[in-house]
């Protein structure tokens, strides 16, 4: 089983409008709702790849009830979300059909009490017992200590479970110091962590701060990975048009699934880049197009940067 942790779970709501204009009233052409937050997105992709996956984190209130209901309709994902008194946040994505652009509005999340956070930790540790790998993903809801991911990384390492950490800011800085197996920042998050905007030296610097391997997202240019076995860049064969929402989460799922399967680094990066690109090409944001994924798996270019 692969475990994903989404402390700031969400209900993702997507509106499609013919054209998004400031200061105007809009008629919404279509509305979709789905359980969200980065770790939930990762869990769905892992399940689609055929892995057993359990999703944990917090969910509460009427919105949390909808998340539970929709998660029950996600094949292959076991719902282990922990209740909280506050109401789960919503994220609103408005897709402009004329341009293809997406405008995102993200609520902050419920206030997690000290007792709720303390109660989450033993449940997380119990789930680690059956896990082959764990993904710690996304922002921290209000009330959760800024060092929360460092605590969760250390617990996983004590249980012998490799960890992929995908967050930002101070939560990433503290989490890296706990020595996770992998981190996956984007270029902006990496620059904030290291102070450098040069991807290759910044990626290597992030490794020196504690991460076993650092995989940096370069957007349409693919992934840059600094690992104990070497440094590689993996890029899709072409730039795909579409919605990039969820592409980074698909990359995390690719890296985590390949780790669980014992694949080498070039194969891990190939899978992650192909899944990420196939997510951009998918008709529904945050899902991947299987045909595009199969096509791209043999076309991703992986080059050594050593």
Report CA-CA distances (Å) from 70 to 35, 62, 172: 6, 13, 29
- Is 249 considered catalytic here? yes
In Å, the largest CA–CA distance within the chain is 55
Which residue is it, tokens 């979300």?
81
DSSP secondary structure of 125-148: HHHHTT-SEEEEESPPPTTS-TTH
**Burial of 73 (C-beta count, 10 Å sphere; 0-12/13-18/19+):** exposed
**Do β-strands 30-36 and 10-17 pair in parallel, antiparallel, or remain unpaired?**
antiparallel
CB atoms within 10 A of CB 132: 16
CB atoms within 10 A of CB 150: 23
Catalytic residue among 12, 166, 249, 289: 249
User: Is 13:91 a contact under the CB 8 Å cutoff?
Assistant: yes
> What's the rounded Cα separation, in Å, for the pair 164 and 283?
28
**Do β-strands 133-137 and 2-6 pair in parallel, antiparallel, or remain unpaired?**
parallel
**Burial of 130 (C-beta count, 10 Å sphere; 0-12/13-18/19+):** exposed
93 has which bridge partners? 14, 104
SS3 content of the chain, % helix, strand, coil (to 5): 40, 25, 35
> What's the rounded Cα separation, in Å, for the pair 226 and 115?
39
Catalytically active residues, by annotation:
249
């Amino acid at each position: 089983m692969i475990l994903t942790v989404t402390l700031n779970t969400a209900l993702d709501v997507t509106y499609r409008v013919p054209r998004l204009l400031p200061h105007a009233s809009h008629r919404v052409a279509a509305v979709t709702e789905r359980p969200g937050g980065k770790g939930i997105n990762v869990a769905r992709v892992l399940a689609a790849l055929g892995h057993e996956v359990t999703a944990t984190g917090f969910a509460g209130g009427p919105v949390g009830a909808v998340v539970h209901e929709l998660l029950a309709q996600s094949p292959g994902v076991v719902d282990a979300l922990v209740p909280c008194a506050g109401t789960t946040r919503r994220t609103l994505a408005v897709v402009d059909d004329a341009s293809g652009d997406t405008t995102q509005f993200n609520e902050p999340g419920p206030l997690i009490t000290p007792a709720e956070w303390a109660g989450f930790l033993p449940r997380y540790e119990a789930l680690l017992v059956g896990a082959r790998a764990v993904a710690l993903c996304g922002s921290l809801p209000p009330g959760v200590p800024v060092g929360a991911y460092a605590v969760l990384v250390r617990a996983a390492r004590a249980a012998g479970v490799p960890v992929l950490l995908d967050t930002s800011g101070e939560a990433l800085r503290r989490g890296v110091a706990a020595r996770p197996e992998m981190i996956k920042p984007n270029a902006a998050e990496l620059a904030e962590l290291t102070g450098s905007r040069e991807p290759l030296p910044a990626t290597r610097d992030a490794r020196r701060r504690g991460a076993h391997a650092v995989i940096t997202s370069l957007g349409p240019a693919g992934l840059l990975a600094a690992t104990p076995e070497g440094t590689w860049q993996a890029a899709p064969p072409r730039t795909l048009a579409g919605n990039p929402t969820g592409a980074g989460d698909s990359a995390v799922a690719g890296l985590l699934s390949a780790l669980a399967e014992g694949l080498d680094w070039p194969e891990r990066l190939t899978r992650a880049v192909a899944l990420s690109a196939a997510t951009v090409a998918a008709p529904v944001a945050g899902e991947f197009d299987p045909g595009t994924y199969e096509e791209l798996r043999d076309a991703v270019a992986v080059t050594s940067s050593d």
